[in-house]
Amino acid sequence: MTKKIFLSGNEDDFSQALADRLQRAGAILTQSSDDAEYVIHFGHESIGNMAIVPFHKETNHPGLVVVIHDLLSPEGNSTHWGDEELHGWANEIREGTLDFDSLRNFSPRYWVHVRDVCDALCTLILSDIAKSIIGRLNISGRRPWGPQSIVEEMRMLWGRYEDSVNYSHTVESLSTVPSPVSHEIMIETKRPDLSLLHKLLIKCESEGWHPLVPMRVSLMEIFAHAKD
């Protein structure tokens, strides 16, 4: 049965991505909360069945509070969710102005692509148990990424792009280069508790919380959407 959904609150790349994902899954987006079976609010106000907030915001919402940690949105129009540093590094690498000493000021992060987040939320929202889920639900990536490894990967990707544009590839530049991100030593840092998210997704007959978008693809998309 198709579910009627109403989305309210802050509009940005994230909210639009979730709206698109819900519609592709067969949901009907209504123009009024009165016509909806499930109400989602982007923001800390106590509205609807689900409130979606960044990790640094508090809310007394009585229903389900989805706390988003380290969201990665390639378009770069949702930076209040926390990915402004990634877009800043990408721009500085393109311009050749990145100060590597400044990376010491950044802690490891549990980056997660907006598509993975929207897939998980769509599964929960359209499930039969949606209205019975209350409390605090964390969403983040499963492993930490240090700033040095992210920047090394960005430099390699941008270098390959410039070589392609300038027809300056060499045998070395075209060789398969292991991703510094994929071989990074695990960093000791506290991860948000993802156990409830994992259990609920399994209860919805999915395989649990297993983000699928690779970091290399995410960074390539950031460059693809970078503004000149």
Q: How many domains does the chain have?
A: 1
What pLDDT, on the 0 to 100 scale, is given for residue 185? Answer: 56
Q: Is 153 in contact with 219 (CB distance < 8 Å)?
A: yes
Average pLDDT, the chain: 90
Low-confidence ranges of the chain (pLDDT < 70): 1, 163-188, 227-228
Domain that holds residue 141: 4-225
What pLDDT, on the 0 to 100 scale, is given for residue 161? Answer: 72
Full-model pTM: 0.91
What pLDDT, on the 0 to 100 scale, is given for residue 208? Answer: 97
CATH of the domain at 182: 3.40.50
What pLDDT, on the 0 to 100 scale, is given for residue 65? Answer: 97
Q: Is 201 in contact with 116 (CB distance < 8 Å)?
A: no
